[in-house]
Structure 1
Amino acid sequence: MNMTSIFEQLFAAYWWLIPALLAISFLKTSFMKGVIGELQVNLAAKFLLDKSKYTLFKNVTLPTEDGTTQIDHVIVSRDGVFVIETKNMKGWIFGSENQKTWTQKIYRHTSKFQNPLHQNYKHTQTLQAALNIEPSTIFSIVVFVGDSTFKTVMPDNVVYAGGYIRYIKNKTQSVFTESEVKDICAQISTGRLKPSLKTHRDHVKHVKTLVAEKQRPIEVKPVLKNAANTCPKCGEAMVLRTAKRGDNQGKQFWGCSGYPKCREVRPAL
């Protein structure tokens, strides 16, 4: 039996492995992780929230001054407008409300990601301005799905998949009338960009442009020394300072920026 026949028999027996491996690889992409995470949130809302009280909007893309912003989910009820950011992640999660970046740790691998509360802040601000509603009537929620574990104390509005339903149901004080709820839903429906593959692609392109601009090195231009404001002793720039003690306490003077190597001073005019 030649090698060609062996390969043909192996392919005939195990051809299904090729599409299976491709499917597994596709499911592991960040795009599919996001889709799966959002699907879990959708299903929870569908089966655990009363449709007569809560209206769910998925993938709401809104225009902004510098492009677009995309919200995973918006839920509208008489008890408020809930803006939901979904994160499908695994491993240990470390973070606090005010930190710029949070940390994901999987075994020995550590990576940083943007604080999702900060990310969702732009979403809530954009939606609040578009709807012209009070800040106290709109709520930001970050939902983690997947096999992740919080290793630091998280704010009440950062929850696991099932927790966001409890968070919403705990808001029992009506802030809108039925008429206002209908009006808000109508504004979202008409103000959002049409949900489509093109809308999503354009938004992703906009986000990539913003990321690239943030990562671009800042050009540092040399500071030209002013000959009239340089130290006559060493040539370094003179800095305006305020005396903290002595007879001249509280008075300003020019001191050499090379201090303490150079102690040249001159009175401020």
Structure 2
Amino acid sequence: MRYLYLVLALFSSCKESEKNKISCLVSEWEGKEILFPAHSIFTIQGKDTVDFSFADVDYKVVTYIDSVGCTSCKLQLPRWKQFMHEVDSTMNDSIPFVFYFHPKDMKELRYITCRDVFIYPVCFDEKDDFNTLNHFPSEMTFQTFLLDKKNKVVAIGNPVHNPKVKEFYLQVLTRGKNTKAKVKRPVTAVAMSTESIDFGSFPQAEKQERKFMLTNTGKNLLVIYDVITSCGCTKVEFSKEGIRPGENTELTVIYEAEKAEHFSKTITVYCNTNNSPLRLKITGNAK
């Protein structure tokens, strides 16, 4: 139950109905054993087969990506690389990261892993055997697990899509010794210059840039912890310097369309305010 309360605290901004749903889901999966297919082939970028073993380790991080929706949006491979590096630099022991991807388009998946220079073992699970064994939740947020030595669920949640979940994973892995995750800053207030940006129509090959602003309207220093985009084709440039009361900071949204389409994406800003995370919607039509 202690773990359940901690997870619910990570999603404190959710509505009560969503909290109840999360509560039931976490109760179902906490302590549950994850089963692995008898014969899983792991490769580097879908080409070179590797001997990848994750047995007899105290902890492992396991993530499953289904074939529904935007593959690039779900993968977020650069953020996974960043998190894996952070775990490696924090831990004395190596923590295996186990990736099972159920591709709707094998060619696209190989392209994304090559584009993002993702040189870690991945199982391209074409028959979806991993999900068939376990029947994972349909929500992407709850398709990543921290497992113990017996493959039982210690924590659930995606650390690359939610920095609070990432901090929680690090706390569990370091047995509470991750001092970086313990830093608490006094909250302040913030005003966004806009809650949506419309890029309009533009040629698909043209990189698009727009800006929006955050103003510190409170009494304490405003700190942006992280900015997460719902798609790999969207990037945000921002300063990590603290913003004094009364001052503002500019964030630059960069959109590079992977294909011609009408799009609707979300940018999530995590900062030290009561209404964090902040959300910005971006729309447009790449032709």
TM-score tier, shorter chain, comes to under 0.3
Larger C-alpha radius of gyration, 1 or 2? Answer: 1
> TM-score by structure 2 length?
0.25
> TM-score by structure 1 length?
0.26
Higher relative contact order (CA 8 A, sep 6+): 2
